[in-house]
A and B are shown apart, each in its own frame.
Chain A
Amino acid sequence: MNNKLLRTLIGSLSFTTALFVFQACYGTPQAVDNDFLVEGQVTSRASGQPVQNIRVGIEGDSQHQYTDSDGRFSFYTVKRNNIKLVFEDTEEQPGNFAKTDTLINGSSDTVRVNISLVEE
Chain B
Amino acid sequence: MKFPKKLFLRFRDAEIRRHELNYLFWECTLRCNLNCLHCGSDCNTSTAIADMPLNDFIGALKTIPRPSKNFTVVMTGGEPLLRNDIEECGKEIRKLGMQWSLVSNGILYIPERHNTLLNAGMGALTISLDGMEDSHNWLRNSGNTFKRVADAIALATSATRLNFDVVSCVTPKNLSQLATVEELLGSLGVRAWRLFTIAPIGRATENRDLLLNDKQFTQLMEFISATRERSKIKVQFSCEAYTGKYEHRVRDSYFFCRAGINIGSVLADGSISACPNNNRKLVQGNIYHDNLNQIWETKFQPFRNRAWTKTGICNNCKHFGECLGNGMHLHQGENLELVCCRSLNEKSKNH
Residues of A within 8 A of B (CB): 1, 3, 6-7, 10, 13, 15-19, 21-35, 37, 62-65, 74-78
Contacts and interface: CB of A to CB of B under 8 A. Distances in A.
A29 B124 contact: yes
Nearest to A14: B1
B123 A3 contact: no
Interface residues of B, number: 63
Interface stretch (B56-64, B69-77, B288-296, B297-305): B69-77
Nearest to A80: B161
A24 B25 contact: yes
B263 interface: yes
The 4 closest A-B pairs by CB, nearest first: A31-B123, A31-B99, A75-B119, A18-B252
B9 to A, nearest CB: 11
B7 interface: yes
A76 B95 CA distance: 12
A76 B120 CA distance: 6
A25 B10 contact: no
B123 A35 contact: yes
9 contacts: A10-B11, A18-B252, A18-B253, A19-B11, A19-B256, A22-B253, A26-B275, A29-B163, A35-B123
Nearest to B125: A28
Nearest to B119: A75
B115 interface: yes
Among A3, A28, A33, which residue has the most Cβ atoms of chain B within 10 A?
A: A28
B119 A63 contact: yes
A72 to B, nearest CB: 13
B23 interface: yes
Interface string B156-187: 00111101110100000000000000000000
Given A10-B7, A35-B123, A27 B76 contact: yes
Contact of A29 (B22, B101, B263, B276): B101
Nearest to B121: A76
Contact of A26 (B8, B158, B196): B196
